[in-house]
Structures are given as structure tokens and as C-alpha cells.
């Protein structure tokens, strides 16, 4: 696969699912990335094996765009599914001993998952609880001295009013 073929397949896989600006930005980015890596002496096939086929890359871009509200249409994965299934049936390179997971060296955490939201609520609960405990501890300490201070203030006020 050549650099131009890769970029064209990426463009086609993204077409209709994300705005043209997203397509243009990503094609530009991956075009630059491929050029930089090829300047280091790597082949396009080596780079594609690392970052994944264009249709897989498109799925990630579409998911990211969907999470940020930049998608087009209701079925954002339609062209991706067609491209992916056609490519998988034509080229079974992943099952032939090569890396089965093309994104195995990439770490992506989707903070929109329910368990991340649950974790955020739990952390917020503990922070609020900690703040209330600290403020409550300060008031408890002040209340311990409130009685004697109140007695001293009342005696001072009583003696001051007796002199009148």
C-alpha cells in the first residue's frame, strides 16, 4: 500500500460520518506522520502495521468525533462497517500470524463510560465528606472552648454593668 492509497482509504472511510474539517485535519496529520516516518527509513506497511488499517483508524476518529458531538447523520458506522467487512474478506493479513490487535501499543481511556462517571461521583462524595469532617472538627474544637469563653464574657459584662 502506498501513502496516497492509505490517505485515500482513510478519507473514504471518514466520508459522510464526520465533518469535512475533521477529515481534512486527520488526512493532513496522518500524511505528515507517514512522511516523517518514511524519512526515518520505515516503509508504509510497517507504519500501517503500527497504527492500523485506515478503516480501523477511521472508526477511532469517528468515535472520538461522536463523543465530541462532531458527527454527521444517525448511523455513524455505516460506511466503516462496509469498508471493514470488505477489507477483512479481501485481506486476511491480521489472522496470519501478524499483530491481531493493531492498536495494542495505544492506550485510550474513554471517560464517557458509566464506570468512570461512577468513580467521579464516588470521589466527589469522599471529598465532600472530608471537607465536612474537617469543618465539623473545627467547630467541635471551638465548641469545647465556647462554654468557658461564654462564662468569661458574661462575668465581664455583669461586672461592667454593676459599676453603673
The per-residue pLDDT for range 41-70, each reduced to its tens digit, is: 998 888 888 888 888 888 888 888 877 766
Which range of residues forms the domain containing residue 23?
Answer: 3-108
Torsion of CA 54, 57, 58, 61, to 10 degrees: -150
**DSSP element (H, E) containing 77:** none
Which of 89, 108, 127 lies at the terminal end of a domain, its last residue?
A: 108
What does the pLDDT average to over 135-145? 90
129 in the same domain as 87: no
Q: CA-CA distance, 132 to 53, in Å (whole number)?
A: 52
Higher pLDDT, 110 or 101: 110
Q: Is residue 31 within 8 Å of 3, Cβ to Cβ? A: yes
85 in the same domain as 114: no
Burial class (CB in 10 A: 0-12, 13-18, 19+), 105: exposed
Q: Who contacts 35 (Cβ-Cβ below 8 Å, separation ≥6)?
A: 3
Domain count, the chain: 2
Residue 83 reports pLDDT greater than 60: no
pTM of the model: 0.43
130 in the same domain as 96: no
Amino acid at each position: 500500500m502506498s501513502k496516497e492509497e492509505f490517505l485515500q482509504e482513510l478519507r473514504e472511510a471518514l466520508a459522510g460520518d464526520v465533518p469535512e474539517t475533521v477529515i481534512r485535519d486527520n488526512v493532513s496529520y496522518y500524511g505528515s506522520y507517514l512522511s516523517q516516518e518514511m524519512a526515518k527509513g520505515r516503509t508504509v506497511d510497517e507504519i500501517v502495521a503500527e497504527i492500523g488499517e485506515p478503516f480501523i483508524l477511521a472508526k477511532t476518529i469517528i468515535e472520538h468525533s461522536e463523543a465530541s458531538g462532531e458527527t454527521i447523520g444517525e448511523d455513524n458506522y455505516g460506511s466503516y462497517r462496509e469498508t471493514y467487512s470488505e477489507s477483512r474478506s479481501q485481506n486476511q493479513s491480521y489472522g496470519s500470524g501478524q499483530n491481531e490487535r493493531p492498536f495494542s501499543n495505544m492506550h485510550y481511556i474513554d471517560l464517557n463510560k458509566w464506570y468512570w462517571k461512577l468513580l467521579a461521583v464516588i470521589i466527589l462524595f469522599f471529598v465532600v465528606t472530608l471537607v465536612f469532617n474537617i469543618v465539623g472538627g473545627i467547630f467541635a474544637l471551638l465548641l469545647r472552648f465556647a462554654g468557658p469563653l461564654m462564662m468569661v464574657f458574661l462575668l465581664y459584662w455583669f461586672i461592667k454593668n454593676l459599676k453603673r
